[in-house]
Amino acid sequence: MKILVTGGAGFIGSHVSDALVAGGHEVHVLDDLSGGFETQIPGDATLHKMDIRHEDVELLWKEEGFEVMFHLAAQMDVRRSVADPRYDADVNVGGLLNLMEAGRKHGLKKVVFSSTGGAIYGEPDTIPQTEEHALQPLSPYGITKLCSEKYLFFYESTYGIEYVALRYGNVYGPRQNPHGEAGVVAIFCERMLDGRQPVVNGDGKQTRDYVHVKDVVAANLSALGHQGSGVFNVGTSIETDVVTLFEHLRDELAPAMPTEHGPGKPGEQRRSVLSYAYTQEVLGWAPTIDVRTGLQETARWFKAKRTGN
């Protein structure tokens, strides 16, 4: 199968690209390398260095005729979306529409879309949050992901292009970029290895559903094999607070480091945890890596990368 992976040089996208190449697919990566790295792209994949908003996307699609698109390219910094919602919408909605218009004209049959569970539901009314939970995004980032899901429904209804939207929890693991606001695990690891004190915002009791990138890749592969369209959570149904997260990483990287708290971030969501029951029922997917084991593995990866061992 001929597959386009947008954002395929990034954290999650490179892992997905690896798995698709290993599965025997012809993989093309579309990435402007603003947040990803060419070295992370599998050797058997073809890189097209391009912004997803560029007009040449249609020319590329016309030449290559991609059947399936894994859409992971995004503006994913929640705080930047708040500071500059126009830019967030331009990349996340405008970029998607540019891809979909090119795809519908030139053979696109299916989209696997990386959405968000952490930012699309807002504060939970019930725990864990199911796909039927009220959609109350608290940031422009969450709004653009929801808007993208609705556009995919439009393209499925109007042009017959199937889609699977995967609503991720907080994804972590090897290759996560610590230079930004999108990955607290990577940020904490980098600071600990530098001997710098990570700061826990507020009381550190805010919770997230941390899901390992290997499990996220498995969910993407399950979505590829699914016949039909739908929206599915990809999480663990387990809440982990920031203090616990810090302690797991500290045990592995900096045992003597104290816990230091700073001011809370205004408007920060307090809780997020996703039910995967529907995903397991329909896609046959369930998480396999518990958070403690996954954090230990991730910390060791960052340490090995630093030391070269």
Spatial separation of the C-alpha atoms in residues 191 and 215, rounded to whole Å? 26
The answer on 160 and 80 residing in a single domain is yes
In a domain, 279, yes or no: no
Three-state secondary structure call for residue 53: coil
On the 0-12 / 13-18 / 19+ scale of CB atoms within 10 A, 212 is buried
Which residue in 87, 121, 141, 172 is the catalytic one? Answer: 141
The answer on 160 and 18 residing in a single domain is yes
Q: Give the chain's domain count.
A: 2
pLDDT tens, position by position, 31-87? 999 989 999 999 999 999 999 999 999 999 999 999 999 999 999 888 889 999 999
Provide the pLDDT confidence category of residue 138 given band limits of 50, 70 and 90.
confident
Q: Please count the other Cβ atoms lying within 10 Å of the Cβ belonging to residue 173.
A: 25
The answer on 192 and 154 residing in a single domain is no
In a domain, 186, yes or no: yes
Spatial separation of the C-alpha atoms in residues 80 and 99, rounded to whole Å? 23
Among 25-39, 163-177, 264-278, where is mean pLDDT lowest? 264-278
Query: Structure pTM?
Result: 0.95
- Give the closest residue to 69 by CA, choosing from 7, 23, 139: 7
Q: What percentage of residues in the chain have a pLDDT greater than 90?
A: 89
Average pLDDT, rounded, for the chain: 95
The answer on 142 and 53 residing in a single domain is yes
Spatial separation of the C-alpha atoms in residues 153 and 157, rounded to whole Å? 6
Which residues, including other chains, have CB under 8 Å from residue 193's CB and lie 6 or more apart? 253, 254, 302, 303, 306
Range list of β-strands (E), the chain = 2-6, 26-31, 46-49, 68-71, 110-116, 162-168, 170-172, 199-201, 207-208, 210-212, 230-234, 240-241, 260-262
Q: Residues 149-175: what's their mean pLDDT?
A: 97
Q: What is the pLDDT, as a whole number, of residue 264?
A: 86
In a domain, 265, yes or no: yes
In a domain, 85, yes or no: yes
The answer on 111 and 30 residing in a single domain is yes
278 is an active site residue: no
CB 141 within 8 A of CB 89: no
Q: Which domain holds residue 25?
A: 2-171+210-234
Last residue of a domain, one of 234, 250, 281: 234
The answer on 124 and 192 residing in a single domain is no
The answer on 59 and 184 residing in a single domain is no
The answer on 200 and 142 residing in a single domain is no
The answer on 190 and 72 residing in a single domain is no
If phi over 0 gives left and psi between -120 and 50 gives alpha, with beta otherwise, what is residue 33? left
Tell me, what amino acid is at 258? P
The answer on 254 and 129 residing in a single domain is no
